[in-house]
C-alpha cells in the first residue's frame, strides 16, 4: 500500500471518503435536472463527458449532487494534477482573495506574478536566461508564443503537426489538426499555418530519425526555412491520442530549427507539471525548447497559462504588445505558487511514475488477453490505450466510445481522445489512492470484456 492509500481530502469542510459509491444510476435525478437546465440555458456547442453535476472533488473522487462518488481518471483534462482543492492552493487562494482580487498587472504590477515568472524561468528546461508572460488559457498562451516568435524572427509561417491540438481560438484552430469537433464550420482559419507529419511509431513504423527526415523534407519543400518563424509541437500529443514520438524525433526537429533560425515551441499545456513523471515532457526527451507554453496543471485548477523562453526571444515584443486584462490574475498566481511548491516538495514526480507502473502493468495484462487493445503508451500519469479491430488493425472508435460510456455508468470517469476517436486516456490526479486506481481499472477491464 502506498502512503496515500488511506487519504481523505480536506475541502475546507468535511473530508471525502476515497471510494466509488453509486447510490443512483448515472445520471441520478438531481444531475438530470441540472442537465435539463444546461440544455435550456447553455450553448449546445459546450459539451460534457460525464452526465453528472459535481458538488465536491478531492483525492481521486468526484462527488455528484445525488451523492454518487465517481473515480476520477481525467483530472478535468489534466488540470488537477496535484489533486482537487489541494490544501495549499485553498489556503493561498483564500488569503489572496481577501487581500485583493485584481488590479491588472499592466496597470499596477504585484509580486506574485513576478514570483510565478521567476519560478517558471527556474523550473522549465534549460539553464539559459529566460523570461515569462502570463495569460488565462492554454490557447491564449499558444497565440502569444506564435506572436512572440513572429516578432523575433520577422517571419510569418508556422508549422504544426498531424494529430496536434493547440486550442479553440482562431489561430489555435488553424494549428489544430482534427476537423470534428474542433474546426468544422468555424473557418476561415488563420493563414500561414502548415502541417508536417508527426512521428507515430505504432502506425508509421518509422524510427525517430526517419520520421524527422520526412517531416523536415516536407517543411523545407513546402514552406522553406526562410519563411518559417516557428515549429510548434506537443512533446507527447494530448487530444491527438497520447502519441509518443519515436526516440530521436524531437531532438532532430529541434536541431534543424536551431540550424535554420526557426523558433522551436514546445506546447506542454497538457504534459507539463509532473504529469509525465518529469516536471516537463521535454526533460524526458532531453530537449531544451526555445519557448514553452504551459497551463492546465500550473495552478491546481485555477485559470492560468504562460509562455516561458529565451530572454532575447521573449523580449522581442514592444511594450504593450503582450498582455490582457486578466492575464496573471493575483488569485491564480497565488494558486500557482502553492501548486509549484507542491510539485517541488511533495514527491509528485515519483508519484506520477508510480502511477505509470500501475497503469501500464494493468493495461498490459488486459492487452495480453484482448487483441482489441492495439497499443499502450505514454509516460507517468498520462497513459493511453488505443483500440483496434484485430483483423485489420483499423481504429475502433465505436468500441472505444462503448467502453468509455460503460465506465462512466459504473462510476469511473475516463476520457477518450485520438484523431480516430479510438483512444482511452488515463489522466488521474496524482492524489488518487492506489486502491481506487486499481478499482477504476477493474471497471475498465470489465467494460471492455462486456463490449
Ligand X SMILES: Cc1ncc(COP(=O)(O)O)c(C=O)c1O
**What residues line the site for ligand X (CB under 6 A)?**
77, 137-139, 142, 165-167, 234, 238-239, 267, 269-270, 295
Q: Quick one: 60 or 238, whose CB is closer to ligand X? A: 238
Q: Quick one: 142 or 211, whose CB is closer to ligand X? A: 142
Distance of closest approach, residue 238 Cβ to ligand X, in angstroms: 4
Q: How far apart are CA 41 and CA 282, in angstroms?
A: 41
Nearest residue (beta carbon) to ligand X: 138
Q: Quick one: 331 or 373, whose CB is closer to ligand X? A: 331
Q: How far apart are CA 373 and CA 399, in angstroms?
A: 10
Q: Quick one: 34 or 77, whose CB is closer to ligand X? A: 77
Taking the CB of residue 440, how many other CB atoms lie within 10 A of it?
28
Distance of closest approach, residue 421 Cβ to ligand X, in angstroms: 16
Q: How far apart are CA 373 and CA 366, in angstroms?
A: 8
Q: Quick one: 166 or 362, whose CB is closer to ligand X? A: 166
Distance of closest approach, residue 390 Cβ to ligand X, in angstroms: 30
The set of cell numbers assigned to 207 is 524510427
Q: How far apart are CA 281 and CA 294, in angstroms?
A: 11
Q: Quick one: 63 or 193, whose CB is closer to ligand X? A: 193
Distance of closest approach, residue 433 Cβ to ligand X, in angstroms: 26
Q: Quick one: 142 or 313, whose CB is closer to ligand X? A: 142
Q: How far apart are CA 80 and CA 85, in angstroms?
A: 8
Distance of closest approach, residue 361 Cβ to ligand X, in angstroms: 26
The set of cell numbers assigned to 365 is 495484462
The set of cell numbers assigned to 383 is 497513459
Distance of closest approach, residue 303 Cβ to ligand X, in angstroms: 8
Long-range CB contact pairs, 389-395, < 8 A, 24+: 395/420, 395/421, 395/422
Distance of closest approach, residue 273 Cβ to ligand X, in angstroms: 13
Distance of closest approach, residue 165 Cβ to ligand X, in angstroms: 5
Q: Quick one: 211 or 295, whose CB is closer to ligand X? A: 295
Amino acid at each position: 500500500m502506498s502512503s496515500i492509500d488511506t487519504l481523505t481530502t480536506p475541502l475546507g469542510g468535511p473530508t471525502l471518503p476515497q471510494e466509488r459509491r453509486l447510490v443512483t444510476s448515472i445520471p441520478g435525478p438531481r444531475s438530470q435536472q441540472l442537465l435539463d437546465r444546461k440544455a435550456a440555458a447553455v450553448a449546445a456547442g459546450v459539451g460534457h463527458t460525464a452526465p453528472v453535476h459535481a458538488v465536491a472533488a478531492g483525492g481521486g473522487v468526484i462527488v455528484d449532487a445525488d451523492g454518487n462518488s465517481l473515480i476520477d481518471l481525467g483530472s478535468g483534462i489534466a488540470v488537477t494534477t496535484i489533486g482537487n482543492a489541494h490544501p495549499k492552493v485553498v489556503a493561498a487562494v483564500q488569503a489572496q482573495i481577501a487581500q485583493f482580487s485584481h488590479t491588472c498587472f499592466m496597470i499596477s504590477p504585484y509580486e506574485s506574478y513576478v514570483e510565478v515568472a521567476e519560478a517558471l524561468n527556474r523550473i522549465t528546461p534549460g539553464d539559459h536566461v529566460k523570461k515569462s508572460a502570463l495569460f488565462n488559457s492554454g490557447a491564449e498562451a499558444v497565440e502569444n508564443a506564435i506572436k512572440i516568435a513572429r516578432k523575433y524572427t520577422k517571419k510569418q509561417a508556422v508549422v504544426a503537426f498531424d494529430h496536434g491540438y493547440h486550442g479553440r481560438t482562431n489561430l489555435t484552430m488553424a494549428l489544430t489538426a482534427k476537423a470534428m469537433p474542433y474546426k468544422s464550420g468555424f473557418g476561415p482559419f488563420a493563414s500561414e499555418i502548415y502541417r508536417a507529419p508527426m512521428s507515430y511509431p505504432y502506425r508509421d513504423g518509422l524510427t525517430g530519425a526517419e520520421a524527422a527526415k520526412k517531416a523536415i523534407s516536407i517543411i523545407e519543400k513546402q514552406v522553406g526555412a526562410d519563411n518559417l518563424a516557428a515549429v510548434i509541437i506537443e512533446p507527447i500529443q494530448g487530444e491527438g491520442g497520447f502519441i509518443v514520438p519515436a526516440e530521436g524525433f524531437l531532438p532532430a526537429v529541434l536541431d534543424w530549427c536551431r540550424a535554420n533560425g526557426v523558433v522551436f515551441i514546445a506546447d506542454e499545456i497538457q504534459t507539463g507539471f509532473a504529469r509525465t513523471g518529469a516536471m516537463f515532457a521535454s526533460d524526458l526527451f532531453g530537449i531544451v525548447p526555445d519557448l514553452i507554453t504551459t497551463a492546465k496543471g500550473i495552478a491546481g485548477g485555477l485559470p492560468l497559462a504562460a509562455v516561458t523562453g529565451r530572454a532575447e526571444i521573449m523580449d522581442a515584443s514592444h511594450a504593450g504588445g503582450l498582455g490582457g486584462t486578466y492575464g496573471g490574475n493575483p488569485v491564480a498566481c497565488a494558486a500557482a505558487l502553492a501548486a509549484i511548491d507542491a510539485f517541488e516538495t511533495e514527491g509528485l514526480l515519483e508519484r506520477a511514475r508510480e502511477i505509470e507502473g500501475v497503469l501500464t502493468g494493468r493495461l498490459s495484462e488486459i492487452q495480453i488477453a484482448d487483441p482489441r487493445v492495439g497499443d499502450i503508451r505514454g509516460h507517468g500519469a498520462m497513459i493511453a490505450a488505443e483500440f483496434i479491430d484485430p483483423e485489420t488493425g483499423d481504429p475502433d472508435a465505436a468500441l472505444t466510445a462503448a467502453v468509455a460510456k460503460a465506465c462512466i455508468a459504473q462510476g469511473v470517469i475516463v476520457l477518450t481522445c485520438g484523431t480516430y476517436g479510438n483512444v482511452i486516456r488515463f489522466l488521474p490526479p496524482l492524489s488518487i489512492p492506489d486502491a481506487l486506481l486499481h478499482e477504476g481499472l477493474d471497471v475498465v477491464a470489465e467494460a471492455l470484456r462486456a463490449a
